Structure 1
Amino acid sequence: MDSGLTTRPHGDADASPGAIILARHGEPALSRKVRLTAAGYREFWARYEVGGIVPGQAPPDRLRRFVAECGVIVSSTRLRAIESARTLVGEQVFDHHDVLIEAPLPPPNFPSWIKLSPRIWGFVARLWWWYFDHHEGQETRAEAEARADRAAALLIGLASGGGNVVVLAHGFFNHLVGRALKRRGWRLAESEGYKYWSMRRFERG
């Protein structure tokens, strides 16, 4: 399948901006086949945030082609994002940016008899964080949205010379960056959703 991208000369100040491809990292090396209390989920998320991906994963061929054609590849500073990018570029040097890390997921303080899977806890925690400003002293929704706007500005700058930019980062924060890109005049040209290794491609205008 053709990737649909045209290689542009990177660094040409007169070129039209390249595309920005927001990709989610690969599958993390932390089993979700457990049921946890709120306290247990806090511990689970802390481990998730510092862990890498399941070894031996093969990124989709299409994502490999996007990377092969891009001018710049960057990742967040989380290990799962760095390892995902490393599977695509080998020993090639690429930048890691704190501004691209995932937004926090502190769970609401439900009673200890309530035990949920990490997937359900993630949904509930994001709901409480988004609508009820439940952040437990961590980054708030407003702060995360402001950070997403800074991330969008960074990526637009990287794409300004005409080369496509591939970002290996995180599902929800990629969503926030996409919203910020749209506010800055970029459009979603293609989406594979938010599953592991999925991509969403944005173009100017």
Structure 2
Amino acid sequence: MDQPVTQHIFLIRHQRPDVSKKGFFNQQQAGQFLKNYDTSAIEQLVTKPAGLPYEHVTQVFCSNLPRAKQTARAIFGPGVTLIEDALFNEFQRQVFRVPKIKFPIKFWLYGARILWLLGLNNKGLETFGQARKRARKAALKLGQQAATDGKVVLVAHGFLNFFVRRALQKMGWRVVRADGGGFLGVTELVKKSGK
């Protein structure tokens, strides 16, 4: 009888985008910041995350947002095949209306996320419920690939990775490494085949 094989899924958050958060932003400037965040290049990697199966990685799943694709290339090099999929894109957010007053960008970012989670700032956006369903689909896709390949890597985003991890845990995956949600943070999950 075949021995069970341990499958691995690595969830990596992208590197920090090269956009300045300094100063105070009005509503229009905060909206432009979000656009810049989604389109900007990433800061140069000083070190690559440790403990990844570099020698076994020939393909990497990633969102189709520039910061995820650039991070995947910076970590794994030009020879790796990127499998880009909007399924792995970050949960959306948009600036809310507060006319003529300036705040630090964190006020706008956290406020936008909280209001979106509460269903109060999602006009024209995917809802929180829809985003969680998408994260479950992403988890299923990664799990199916891990059953074939043994080791799977996703380079994506903080919120998306968090909910993918939760979905995988409900599917029987176990977290063995959690670097947190910071830039280049790695979460590793394992599961024995046949379980």
The one-letter code of the counterpart of 1:176 is F
**What code does the residue aligned with 1:34 have?**
G
How far did 1:116 drift? 2.2
Q: Are 1:48 and 2:37 an aligned pair?
A: yes
Q: CA deviation at 1:17?
A: 5.2
Q: Deviations over 1:44-97 (max 9, x none)?
A: 11121122202x32343505x433344642211111111111012222222111
Tell me what 2:96 maps to: 108
Provide closer, same or farther for how the CA distance between residues 57 and 203 of structure 1 changes in structure 2, counting only shifts above 3 A: same
Q: What does residue 175 of structure 2 align with?
A: 188
Q: Which residue in 2 is equivalent to 1:10?
A: none
Q: Are 1:123 and 2:129 matched, yes or no?
A: no
What percent of counterpart residues are identical? Answer: 26
Query: 1:97 aligned to 57, 75, 85, which one?
Result: 85
Shift of 1:117: 2.2
From the superposition, tell whether residues 14 and 47 of structure 1 become closer, same or farther in structure 2 (CA, over 3 Å). farther
| CA 1:130–1:90: 2 relative to 1, 3 Å | same
What residue is the counterpart of 2:134 in the other structure?
147
The CA distance in 1 between the partners of 2:103 and 2:184, in whole Å, is 25
Distance 1:142 1:14, change over 3 A: farther
Aligned partners of 1:188, 1:37: CA distance in 2, in Å?
A: 40
Give the C-alpha shift of residue 196 in structure 1: 0.7
Separation in structure 2 between the aligned mates of residue 17 and residue 71 of structure 1, nearest angstrom:
19
The structure with the largest strand share of the pair is: 2
The residue that corresponds to 2:22 in the other structure is 33
Matches within 5 A, 1:78-97: 78-92=65-79, 93-97=81-85
Contact 2:49/2:184 (8 A) holds in 1: no
Structure 2: 5+ residue runs without aligned partners? none
* 2:122 alignment partner in structure 1: 135
Match of 1:5 in 2: none
Residue 15 of structure 1 and its aligned partner are, at CA, apart by: 5.8
Q: Distance in 2 between matches of 1:174 and 1:111?
A: 33
Residues 17 and 107 (structure 1 numbering): CA distance in 2 closer, same or farther, change over 3 Å?
farther
Bigger mean CA offset, 67-76 vs 185-194 = 67-76
Asked if the contact 2:49/2:186 (under 8 Å) is kept, the reply is: no
TM-score relative to the length of structure 2: 0.87
